[in-house]
């Protein structure tokens, strides 16, 4: 069984920073990419950032470019999302997810961690 556990959420003031972690464990398949998604209150879940596992390839949603940074620690099987210059519109439940190949969907998901940005 694959487990993805997010941590690091909480309450932060606008303009502040927060680092989220996503730790993978269990019977892991080969990992192609890990992504961060978020679901703001009353809205659809949206892609935030992604990082491939074996090469330095990252992708970001336009709304977070220049403010968020995704990174990974292969030895710890952990992916981080450093969030800076946070805005109230960044308030959401943040999820990490894993895909096994470029042809697969993200089919392993964590339970999510709440980030609330107060203005």
Residues 23/98, Cβ–Cβ less than 8 Å: no
Q: What is the pLDDT of residues 2-51, one digit of tens each?
A: 999 999 999 999 999 999 999 999 988 889 999 999 999 999 999 999 99
Cα distance between residue 96 and residue 4, in whole Å: 7
Q: What is the pLDDT of residues 102-116, one digit of tens each?
A: 999 999 999 999 999
> What is the average pLDDT across 90-99?
98
Which whole-number Å values give the CA distances from 79 to 12, 28, 41, 44, 88, in the listed order? 21, 14, 24, 23, 24
Which stretch of 1-5, 63-67, 82-86 has the lowest confidence by average pLDDT? Answer: 1-5
Closest to 19 in 3D by CA, of 35, 6, 30: 6
């Amino acid at each position: 069984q694959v487990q993805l556990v997010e941590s690091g959420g909480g309450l932060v003031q606008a303009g502040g920073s927060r680092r989220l972690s996503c730790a993978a464990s269990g019977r892991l398949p080969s990992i192609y990419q890990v992504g961060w998604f978020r679901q703001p209150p009353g809205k659809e879940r949206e892609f935030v950032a992604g990082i491939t596992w074996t090469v330095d390839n990252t992708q970001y949603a336009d709304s977070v470019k220049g403010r968020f940074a995704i990174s990974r620690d292969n030895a710890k099987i952990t992916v981080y999302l450093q969030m800076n210059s946070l805005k109230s519109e960044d308030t959401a439940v943040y999820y990490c997810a894993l895909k096994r190949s470029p042809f697969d969907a993200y089919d392993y998901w964590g339970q999510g961690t709440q980030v609330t940005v107060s203005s």
